[in-house]
Amino acid sequence: MTAARQDAWTEDDDLILAEVTLRHIREGGTQLAAFEEVGRRIARTAAACGFRWNSCVRKRYSEAIQLAKQQRQKRNYLKKQGIADLDAAEETTGGEAPLAKGEAVTAESLSLEAVIRYLRQWKGLIQELNRQIKHLEKELKEKDERIAALQEENERLSKEVNEVQTDYQVVNDDYKALIKIMDRARRLAFLAEEPEEEKTRFKMDANGNLERIE
């Protein structure tokens, strides 16, 4: 049973973890098997090795991981072509797959094929990048136009808000003036009614004479 260590990971531990994991990737093995192998070698659990690989070590070996995957693909290709000694075949071809099954393999043809394949890959990559650039430029132009339209609309709405505020101030002032006029008119009407109430009132008696009413 693999012992569970609690001490910190050392640089040698990380190096062993990277070497074993990359070898398993290159040879077509699983990462779980790699973690179990590393755990047996450095007395840690496979889970601890997996966590360390995913959280820390893998980020430092991203290019090596891609290279190991490419080497795995080449080994699988050579295996399909019926080449038994994969290591010898890779040394002969310089790590590149043969041109075709049964075709004579020479250093010149392999080098030329590798260069052509490399240039084609770069050509396709450049074309794809150019398409992405054009797409991004189109999106940027659309966003700039959208921003300009929003700015114009914002200016229009700000102008309308200022006009509404001005109209509100005018209406508010007119309303206050109207209230003052109505209040003044009410007071004048009240004052005009008071003398009428104070006027002497008379009534006629049975003989037809006017009698003052107190």
Residues 203, 155 share a domain:
yes
Q: Residue 171: inside a domain, yes or no? A: yes
Query: Quick one: pLDDT at residue 33?
Result: 92
Sort 97 into a burial class: Cβ within 10 Å, 0-12 / 13-18 / 19+. buried
Query: Quick one: pLDDT at residue 98?
Result: 39
Q: Residue 5: inside a domain, yes or no? A: no
Q: How many domains does the chain have?
A: 2
Residues 21, 85 share a domain:
yes
Q: Which of 100, 131, 153 is the last residue of a domain?
A: 100
Q: Which helix (H) or strand (E) holds 198?
A: helix 107-198
Residues 33, 82 share a domain:
yes
For the chain, the helix, strand and coil percentages under 3-state DSSP, each to the nearest 5: 75, 5, 20
Q: Residue 3: inside a domain, yes or no? A: no
Query: Quick one: pLDDT at residue 52?
Result: 92
Residues 211, 112 share a domain:
yes
Residues 94, 151 share a domain:
no
Query: Quick one: pLDDT at residue 95?
Result: 44
Query: Quick one: pLDDT at residue 85?
Result: 45
Range of the domain at 42: 11-100
Residues 121, 213 share a domain:
yes
Q: Residue 124: inside a domain, yes or no? A: yes
Q: Which of 100, 121, 144 is the last residue of a domain?
A: 100
Query: Quick one: pLDDT at residue 82?
Result: 60
Query: Quick one: pLDDT at residue 34?
Result: 92
pLDDT in 10s for each residue of the chain, 214 residues: 555 566 789 999 999 999 999 999 988 889 999 999 999 999 999 999 999 999 999 888 888 888 888 888 888 877 776 654 444 444 444 444 433 333 343 444 445 666 777 677 788 778 888 888 988 898 899 989 999 999 998 999 988 888 888 888 888 888 888 888 888 888 887 776 655 545 556 666 666 666 666 6
Query: Quick one: pLDDT at residue 105?
Result: 39
Residues 214, 117 share a domain:
yes
Residues 146, 82 share a domain:
no
Residues 117, 76 share a domain:
no
Query: Quick one: pLDDT at residue 160?
Result: 86
Q: Which of 100, 120, 140 is the last residue of a domain?
A: 100
Query: Quick one: pLDDT at residue 81?
Result: 67
Query: Quick one: pLDDT at residue 198?
Result: 52
Query: Quick one: pLDDT at residue 108?
Result: 41
Q: Residue 6: inside a domain, yes or no? A: no
Q: Residue 203: inside a domain, yes or no? A: yes
Residues 174, 210 share a domain:
yes
- Rounded Cα distance between 214 and 200, Å, is 8
Q: Residue 165: inside a domain, yes or no? A: yes
Residues 35, 112 share a domain:
no
Residues 130, 67 share a domain:
no
Q: Residue 4: inside a domain, yes or no? A: no
DSSP letter string over 12-57?
Answer: HHHHHHHHHHHHHHHHT--HHHHHHHHHHHHT--HHHHHHHIIIII
